[in-house]
Amino acid sequence: MKTLNVTILKIKLCKVMPLIMIMLVMFTSGSAYAAMLLSGEAGLEYINYDAKVAGKDIFSGSTLAQKYNLGYSLSNFVHRDQAEYYDLKVGYEWADFNTKVTEPDHDTSIRQSSGRFVYGGRLGYNPYNLPVKFSAYLNSNVPVTYSTGLVQNALIGDNLLYAISDTSKGVSSGVTFAFEPEKSRTSTFVRSLPRLYLDYREYETKNSDVTARMDTKTREIAVAGLNRENNWLNYRSVIYEDRLHISEGYTRQQIQIGHVNNVGKRLWASLTNWIDVSADGQLTTLVGKTPNDNYEEYDLNFMAAAKRKTWEATTFMNYNRLFGQSEIKENIRIPVYFKGVYGADTTWYAGVNAQQGREKYWTGKPTETSSLNSITLGGTTFNRTNFVLAPSVNAQTGKSLGGNSFYSMGVNLEAFSTNRFSTAAGVAGKAYWKLKDDGSSDSSRSWIAGLELTGNYHPDMRTFYKMANLTETGNGLGFLDTSSAQAVISSGAPASTPDFMRDRLSASVAWTPTAEFTTSFEGSYDISQVTGRPTTTATTIAYRLSYFKGKSFYRLDSKYESINSGVKKDAFSNQLEAQYLPDIYNEATLRFIQEYDKIYASSAADTYEILQKYSYKMFTRDGVSRNYATITQEYSYKSGGLLGQNASGLTTQYLALSGRYSPTAKLSLTGSMKYEKVDPGMTTLYYSAGINADFKLLVTSLDYTYAKRDFDSRIEKKLAASVKRTF
């Protein structure tokens, strides 16, 4: 299909849009409400960082950054549904930073600046007495961001600036027009006209930075019209240009007709009072800068749903054909699904799916085909008795594209109890058999048979028991998990006929005597055998407890796991947590975590961690209650590592104290101290203090951080100050 010449796409709307929006504002300026605002922002930030080792300066740096913006806005916007609205802004933003770094062997200076015009806005025209809607938007605001951090493995982050990370300039704009004649209040003729929608969007991004150069432009247009009822005609076009990489540009156009509206929602038409249909056709063309990128694609969809008193049927048919530069691809899919009821206590379902694919190459390569056909039958019966019976069968056969033929089938028989059997107990059983062959070799066939039994009992609302058993046996690699299959192959065992067996028994009990207390215990034992591999056993035991009473909360999680697959491995973990909240002023937390792992043939590892935290909050007693001060204390101890002859471990602990005092809602004083010790032989001290003021038009902060490590006599200092004034 030849590319449509849409001349509107050649207009540079990003240049014309501001003029259009100003003219429309003049046209809609009859609104009684309008606000004009001149605003600006000035920001200044200073950072100084020093690092010494054994009294010698190894790094010293400072950053002075400044950012300014000035803007003018004009708006009458109150809500989006008002008849006329506009919200426009224009301004300029400039950012600059200067970083100086001194190291023992050289000095470095980094300075960058970036300035850009910022403009944008939105407007709308939605008259209550006319069946039209119009809206437009324009936005060029890409905020300036910095890249920070020059020192690796620092005790405290230096936060020195070294680059403006985003120097790109982007503009996005769009226009939307809607003609909705059904909303006309005066003319019958107008209400008989077709509905029409037009949407145009444009995105342009430029970046002159040599490390991330970019110059792209994307234009999108969508036109949609409704003829009658749910019959829509949609046209979409995307033109992408990359001025630096010309070969990546393309033009994609799409025409769609049928029961799909302008936002992609599928619609339905009623043939009768019990049959609904939906159909659409779509043509897509893509023309790239190189012939190999070009293609033409057709899509046809037909969907139907029928519903009667005792049965339902649905189908979702699709035909796709793609013309590429070297091949033709065709795919057709015809699925049909049925479900219904038979009598008072039987339901049934059935599904048939047929897929065919074909690829034909222009180079003389033989045509390749693929297929997939499947059928599923099933249902439930005896729904009103003590036990429900649910049999099902499925079968699938097919051929991969240019590959092998394959098939699979399965039979399931499931039974489970209902409330007629017991309201306190439930039992269920499932037997299944599956067979599959991917056609990769003469010995690729696999089968599996399994029996799953479950039972549960809850004599009251407080206690719940459950037990389950799963037994599986089979032959072949197809139903083994990936690790087991790879292990069989790598062991040199006969991969053609590996037999396997698995049995898993699990049981659990949960008890909730009160709303505040709950506990549970569960365990499982799993044994599996595969030809050519050692027998694998796995035992898991878990215990959980939680208790909440008034001002206290306690939680315990314990788990033990033992796996033996030729090499025995044990793992044990505990987590205990306690919280105490006597009032709004105090909050205390204590957490203990222990993890133990042992591989008997090699090593064992043991890890302990204790965390204790306490916070005290102070509130004002007059007027509105305000948290004006908080003191927090925290202690952590963590120890762990390898055990035995190759024992190695690391113990880390720290004690931290921090506080915040806010004499007013706008002013805050902060401070912290931290003592950290890493055994063997390394201690670090941290100190910090700061003041922050946050007023309506002024935000300022001053922070000082100090760190000292005795291991290498390393000292780090950082002073950070910032101020931002808004007007």
The DSSP secondary structure of 622-673, one letter per residue, reads: SSS--EEEEEEEEEEEEEEEEESTT-EEEEEEEEEEEEEEEEETTEEEEEEE
CB count, 10 Å around CB of 215? 15
Question: How far is 333 from 371, CA to CA, in rounded Å?
Answer: 10
Segment among 49-63, 90-104, 208-222, 343-357 with least mean pLDDT: 208-222
Higher pLDDT, 489 or 91: 91
The region of weakest confidence among 6-15, 52-61, 140-149, 608-617 is 6-15
- Are the C-beta atoms of 383 and 398 separated by less than 8 Å? no
Mind spelling out the 3-state secondary structure of 572-598?
EEEEEEEEECCCCCEEEEEEEEEEEEE
More confident residue, 645 or 46: 46
Model confidence band, residue 131 (pLDDT cutoffs 50, 70, 90): confident
Q: Is 95 helix (H, G, I), strand (E, B) or coil?
A: strand
| Res 140: pLDDT | 84
Highest mean pLDDT out of 80-89, 146-155, 457-466, 477-486: 457-466
Judge residue 51's burial from the number of C-beta atoms within 10 Å of its C-beta, 0-12 exposed, 13-18 middle, 19 or more buried: buried
Please check whether residue 243 is in contact with residue 277, taking contact to mean a CB–CB distance below 8 angstroms.
no
pLDDT for residue 1: 38
pLDDT at 489: 57
Instruction: Retrieve residue 133's tokens.
Output: 């809607």
- Please write the tens of the pLDDT for every residue from 496-520: 568 899 999 999 999 999 989 999 9
Which tokens hold the place of 290? 């190189």
Question: What's residue 11's pLDDT?
Answer: 37
Across 78-194, where does the E strand assignment appear?
84-103, 106-125, 132-139, 146-148, 161-164, 169-179
Q: Which two tokens stand for residue 238?
A: 């995307």
Q: What is the mean pLDDT of residues 561-577?
A: 90
* pLDDT-derived band at 169, boundaries 50, 70, 90: confident
The candidate with the shortest Cα–Cα distance to 336, out of 312, 365, 361, is: 312
Q: What distance in Å separates the CA atoms of residue 156 and residue 48, rounded to the nearest whole number?
A: 12
- First-residue to last-residue Cα distance in the chain: 57
Question: Where residue 161 falls among pLDDT bands split at 50, 70, 90?
Answer: very high
- Tens of pLDDT, residue by residue over 252-287, are 999 999 999 888 889 999 999 999 999 999 999 999
Q: Give pLDDT, residue 84.
A: 86
d(CA 91, CA 120): 9
Nearest residue to 113 via CA among 79, 146, 152: 146
682: tokens are 């390394």
**Would you say the C-alpha torsion 273, 275, 276, 282 has a positive or negative sign?**
negative
Higher pLDDT, 404 or 449: 449
Look at residue 472 in the predicted model and tell me its pLDDT: 94
For 294-298, 362-366, 476-480, 675-679, which range has the lowest pLDDT when averaged over its residues? 362-366
Identity of the highest mean pLDDT range in 132-146, 266-280, 484-498: 266-280
Q: pLDDT value at position 487?
A: 60
Q: Which of 19-28, 144-153, 574-583, 644-653 shows the lowest per-residue confidence on average (mean pLDDT)?
A: 19-28
Q: What is the mean predicted confidence (pLDDT) over 82-105?
A: 90
Confidence (pLDDT) at 492: 54
**pLDDT reading at 697 higher than 60:** yes
Q: Which of 130-144, 220-234, 419-433 has the highest mean pLDDT?
A: 419-433
Give residue-wise pLDDT tens across range 33-76. 667 889 999 999 999 999 999 889 999 999 999 999 999 998 88
**Dist. CA 300–CA 303, nearest whole Å:** 10
Mean pLDDT of the chain: 87
Out of 252-261, 329-338, 349-358, 593-602, which region has the weakest mean confidence (pLDDT)? 593-602
Q: Are 709 and 34 in contact (CB under 8 A)?
A: no
Query: In degrees, to the nearest 5, what angle opens at C-alpha 234 toward C-alphas 232 and 240?
Result: 170
3-state secondary structure of 83: coil
For tokens 């390749």, the residue is 368
Q: pLDDT at position 478, please?
A: 78
Q: What is the pLDDT at residue 80?
A: 67
Which pLDDT value is given to residue 86? Answer: 87
Residues 178-201 pLDDT 10s: 998 887 777 778 887 888 999 999
| Contact (Cβ atoms closer than 8 angstroms) between residue 446 and residue 477 | yes
Which residues contact residue 32 at a Cβ distance below 8 angstroms, ignoring those fewer than 6 apart?
Answer: none
For residue 29, pLDDT over 50 is answered with no
Give a three-class secondary structure readout of 364-412: CCCCEEEEEEEEEEEEEECCCCCEEEEEEEEEEEEECCCCCEEEEEEEE
Among 396, 404, 397, residue whose Cα is nearest residue 369 = 404
